[in-house]
Chain A
Amino acid sequence: ETGVTQSPTHLIKTRGQQVTLRCSSQSGHNTVSWYQQALGQGPQFIFQYYREEENGRGNFPPRFSGLQFPNYSSELNVNALELDDSALYLCASSLSGVGEQYFGPGTRLTVT
């Protein structure tokens, strides 16, 4: 059984640029959730996708957008990057929206 994978591991971008982060869900899981974790804080919910549809969104602006593909992998896109977007971005997959969530290793994004 393959766990949750994320790419890339690290990324450095300049303010104003756009970034795409990728996540492959655990085998058999149809739900993917994305979280942002700033240094020293708990993860904050960005949004969740269930069977390719958005299924809940946290308090993040529209420049944070996502996709889920038929194989249940997912992308997180962030436009017009700001310095405060620097964080660890975590992806989690589950069998349902309220099921046990399994996290990937994260993508460390630095915006300069």
Chain B
Amino acid sequence: KQEVTQIPAALSVPEGENLVLNCSFTDSAIYNLQWFRQDPGKGLTSLLLIQSSQREQTSGRLNASLDKSSGRSTLYIAASQPGDSATYLCAVCGANSKLTFGKGITLSVRP
């Protein structure tokens, strides 16, 4: 059974800091991994998708890496801003086509 872990559950940083959010998963047999952002009470916004054959993806200030063999992914956020405050969820897509999510990391960027 696939399990996805995101630690810590919450993070508070000052504006401008570069930060790394971690995600680990137990079963390396995945098709892809997605990082999402969720604002309070809202749906999920897809940030980056990494296919199982890829090592990283970049979009603006965001960079996500994937090490499938060790079951790890990181989301790097450069020059954080108060508008980045949200919950960040990672999810892996397995052979049964379902996404398995972590519980998320709630990020607060202080002005």
A28 within 8 A of B: no
A92, B100: Cα distance in complex, Å: 13
B97 within 8 A of A: yes
Indicate if the CB atoms of A43 and B42 lie closer than 8 Å.
no
Count residues of A near B (Cβ-Cβ below 8 Å).
28
**Which one of B4, B31, B41, B99 lies within 8 Å of A33 (CB-CB)?**
B99
* Chain A contacts for B103, CB-based, 8 A: 40-42
A33, B100: Cα distance in complex, Å: 12
Count residues of B near A (Cβ-Cβ below 8 Å).
24
Interface string of A38-59 (1 = CB under 8 A from B): 0011111100100000011010
A88, B99: Cα distance in complex, Å: 16
Given A100-B34, A100-B49, A105-B43: A42 and B104 within 8 A (CB)?
yes
| CB-based nearest B residue for A88 | B41
Indicate if the CB atoms of A56 and B36 lie closer than 8 Å.
no
With both chains docked as a complex, state the minimum distance between the C-beta of B59 and any C-beta of chain A, in angstroms: 13
Indicate if the CB atoms of A101 and B43 lie closer than 8 Å.
no
* Chain A contacts for B32, CB-based, 8 A: 98, 100
Binding site for B on A (CB under 8 A): 4, 6, 31, 33, 35, 40-45, 48, 55-56, 58, 88, 90, 92, 97-98, 100-106, 108
19 A-B pairs (CB sep. < 8 Å): A6-B43, A31-B97, A35-B99, A40-B103, A42-B4, A42-B103, A43-B44, A43-B89, A48-B97, A90-B43, A92-B99, A97-B97, A98-B93, A100-B32, A100-B49, A103-B44, A103-B46, A104-B43, A106-B42
